[in-house]
Amino acid sequence: MKKFNFRKVLDGLTASSPVGSSGGGSGSGAGGGSVHPGGTAGAAGTPREEIQETLTSDYFQICKTVRHGFPYLPTALAFDPVQKILAIGTRTGAIRILGRPGVDCYCQHESGAAVLQLQFLINEGALVSACADDALHLWNLRQKRPAVLHSLKFNRERITYCHLPFQSKWLYVGTERGNTHIVNIESFILSGYVIMWNKAIELSTKTHPGPVVHLSDSPRDEGKLLIGYENGTIVFWDLRSKRADLRAYYDEAIHSVAWHHEGKQFMCSHSDGSLTLWNLKSPNRPFQTTIPHGKVQRDGKKPESCKPILKVEYKTCKNSEPFVIFSGGLSYDKPCRRPSLTIMHGKAITVLEMDHPIVDFLTLCETPYPNEFQEPYAVVVLLEKDLIVVDLTQSNFPIFENPYPIDIHESPVTCTEYFADCPPDLIPVLYSVGAKHKKQGYSNKEWPISGGAWNLGAQTYPEIIITGHADGSVKFWDASAITLQMLYKLKTSKVFEKQKVGEGKATAEIVEEDPFAIQMMYWCPESRIFCVAGVSAYVIVYKFSKHEVNTEIASLEVRLQCEVEDIITPEPETNPPFPDASSQLPSLKSLSGSTNTVACEGTMKDSIPCLSVKARPVRMPPGYQADLVIQLVWVDGEPPQQITSLAVNSAYGLVAFGNCSGLAVVDFMQKTVLLSMGTLDLYGSSDPYQRQPRSPRKSRQFAAGLTELSDSPVSLELERCKSPTSENRENSFSRSRSSSVSSIDRDSKEAITALYFMESFARKNDSAVSSCLWVGTGLGMVIILSLNLPASDDLRQSEPVVVSPSGTVLTLKGAVLTFACLDCMGTLTHRPYEVWRDPHSADDGDKTRKRKLVMHSPSSSQDMGDHQFAVICSEKQAKVFSLPSQTCLYVHNITETSFLLRADVVTLCNSVCLACFCANGHIMTLSLPSLRPLLDINYLPVTDMRIARTFCFTNEGQALYLSSPTEIQRLTYSQEMCDNLQDMLGDLFTPVETPEAQNRGFLKGLFGGSGQAFDREELFGEATAGKASRSLAQHIPGSGGIEGVRGAAGGVIGDLTRARIALDERGQKLGELDERTASMMASAEAFSKHAHEVMLKYKDKKWYQF
């Protein structure tokens, strides 16, 4: 534990300007931070206490925890009918394994090759994946984080289809050349037994049959293999005699094949939309051919062709007609019809239309045995952007209510916020108002994918994730205990009038695709005030109420621009409170249709907002209700710039927001604009560079494309490569202006990049804290504005709030990202807030209750002390100032060659630190207040703008980002959580007895085929079949499932030490486990040997000789 004596630090400081040199990032101090020589240690700035910093590098480690959402670009589907778990493979080489709610596992192939097919080893706790790079992988699911046990890479042939019979250890692999290979699942070695395509087809056939599209063993006889070739050839291969029992030909390409459970018939689906039913006794032609969706011709001709039936499943029932379920096959004359799944049950045909194309589907059946009545009860349908399960037990085929959070991407996510350890009453309150809007009509049965086991784990503090979306919706999610469940959905677009289709488009120069897209969100969990900034330059303030209300929506219009006439006087003390005329502007409702457009005629738009707020009273259901809408207006034909920063304070009753033109402060209690100024005007005489304000350039227009998560005008731009991890210019990130404060090429567009309300010392000679607004700009300037609030709560609604510059200006390198305030003990000071009360509560009566304000954080409620520390972080460096002396105590230059995308001051283990995410992929944490580096790991290359826009840190060592357009990836930077992660994750495999096969009866066993006596080991083993060619496939041993391997710690030796200690601690347990495992293996081997001897003894005896 390291102690810092601030008195000694301050005594050694020299008297120089507080905004002087900002150097010293690589010199003395712990890990690169150094004491900045600035300011004098006045009486008010001399700490009387030593601050103990409890956090060390041992507290930090990074690992991914869990991934939520729908698997991006899905390609394959598999289900274990005994374990009842589902696996989904994707185009990016990922596998998601889902069980009961809470059991959700993500694993990734190292190659990143697309997953072609997945096959469970049913009830064995293992999964085989076949990938587009012609590799097979065996995954061990008997651990919480699955790992590859074996891989087999085919060198000369491309894999097209795999089949693993139930309770078999031999995997059939079909290839593009038409050959069929056999792989031993236990050793992952190729058998010498190969079914060559030229042996399978008739010798007289002159053409190649095409790739293998289907493989399955007969339900009646495991020694017979059905091989389907793309061109329509079907071969029934006898594995023992190594010859074809029968061959069938059809003149349309085959897409899939399905058996009847008795093994006498099978069904094929074809490229012309037809289904053919074949009998093994008469293979010359199908005994039944149907085109289910084809129109019947009047003259008795064959029905017209339809779209291909990509997959068919043929499932039998004991007490009813069989189910025939297929995807595709619709007629060509209806091009607008949506993708559909057809269910044929007897004579009834039901077509289920889907919202997205069907990738794959599976029928869930009561039995895992293929030779029994299947008794289907549900169909899992994997769509390109959704997963649905249809209940087959009810005649109207309802769908099951999906318990997984797979609708995160219902509308594209544009921004995220993450709150750990928030007030515990929020989750039930949000759930209660959200539950009233749930859809009806779901199946009343239990969700059928119910495998695995999951418990709450040790960390049970409440967590909430908020996602903002392109359609203006906001979703609140319960993220406690590494799960995710939707609580409440808010539609912000409801405050605006609907746009008429096509209105204003004829004369449009620019049209925003998603005018309601959420750009920023600000939430105060204690007061329940919620605020959003939209892409069309508006801010909406929401208050939470449990009661429905009918009311008009209050709205204000703000004009933000910087002109020479607006320049403020040099004496800030005598300055007026900057009233703004735009709050009295007439509301021009007649132009509601021309949203986000610039007229091409001579008329210039001015003082018009981009959208029109509803003028009539609006019914607002319980939950978040719009209290005030603030819109920026057009100025001299130029559309308003997008909002770049946002802050709200419920105790002050103020909302502040800024863009590249300037800053606006609005009193949402009195519904008045307090301040609307250009950025340069905020400095007054305090501007260290004495720049002249000038009108903003008129070339900048709306930056569309929030849907695709592109950046805002002042944020990231793809101008020049600065990220060493980037491979091309499109993936590089850079700021839109030089980070040097001396560069004033674009300072007329100095954006407001950070805002923070706090109780602070506004000026050097202040003896007590007062209400302040800290303003950070894109050029690294920090301006402190004083807020003069009415003295008593009774006067708050009537007396004006005065906002005035304090004259204090601080500087950093690069755009300012975040602020925080520590008290004299080094404890994080909570922002002031008003304790929530229902604005429409019935027990209020006529009297208005007094507001209950919490001005200081509970931890330091006695007295703020005579000084505090201000933590300011920019995209290049972090500084800690002592207030009111404004002495820069510490400075740490975080990066020279890159820049920060996100920085947050967070609490961890009852202490506080600064967490940073850099554009070069590094995640860093710094101690506070001394800014010692505690963690620096090159963890996440920023390959996509989505990561840059959605990454956020929160308390207790948690963070998240959008890893794909449909998935949220959560990670932790806390060593404690990394250590406890195994306890929090769900178990994929649980011990379940395999159901017994039905008693087949004596006569059925005698005359129903010789399937039971088929010995694959003898046929495919090395002794009989020999070895496969070494050049055909290469065996690659897997990692074997070593758990706990975490991200490489960039040069931190402590990780090795921790790993060594952990290994020592667990060594004894592993030794005991090894001994037990060896003993079990020896006993299993002895049993296997004995069973083999018994089998050989009775092998050639007839049944009557026993």
Q: How big, in percent rounded to 5, are the helix, strand and coil portions of the chain?
A: 15, 35, 50
What's the whole-number average pLDDT of the chain?
Answer: 80
The model's pTM is: 0.81
pLDDT of residue 689: 65
* DSSP assigned state of 695: P
Element (H, E) at 477: strand 473-478
AA letter at 1058: R
pLDDT, mean of residues 663-682:
91
Q: What is the largest CA-CA distance in the chain?
A: 116
The mean pLDDT value for 111-133 works out to 95
Residue 539 CA, distance from chain mean position? 25
The radius of gyration of the chain's CA atoms, rounded to the nearest angstrom, is: 34
Q: For residue range 989-1030, what is the model confidence (pLDDT) as tens digits?
A: 999 999 988 866 544 444 444 444 577 777 787 767 677 777
| Terminal CA-CA length for the chain | 79
Share of the chain above pLDDT 70, in %: 76
834-874 pLDDT, tens digit per residue, is: 999 888 876 655 445 678 888 875 444 445 567 899 999 99
Question: In this predicted model, what pLDDT tens digit does every residue of 57-71 receive, in sequence order?
Answer: 999 999 999 999 999
Cα dihedral value 193, 197, 200, 204, nearest 10:
-150
The two tokens of residue 617 are 């009273």
Does residue 483 register a pLDDT over 70?
yes
Given pLDDT bands bounded at 50, 70 and 90, which one contains residue 691?
low
What band does 309 get if pLDDT is binned at 50, 70 and 90?
Answer: very high
The pLDDT > 90 percentage for the chain reads 54
Question: Which residues fall within 8 angstroms of residue 474, CB to CB, at 6 or more apart?
Answer: 466, 467, 468, 489, 490, 491, 492, 518, 521, 530, 532
Question: Is the Cβ–Cβ distance between 784 and 762 less than 8 Å?
Answer: yes
**Which residue has tokens 């017994």?**
996
Which element (helix H / strand E) includes 259? Answer: strand 254-259
Q: How confident is the model at residue 532 (pLDDT cuts 50, 70, 90)?
A: very high
- For 1011, phi then psi, to 5°, come to -60, -35
Which ranges of 405-483 does DSSP label H, i.e. alpha helix? 426-434
Identify whether 929 is preceded by a cis peptide bond (ω within 30 of 0): yes
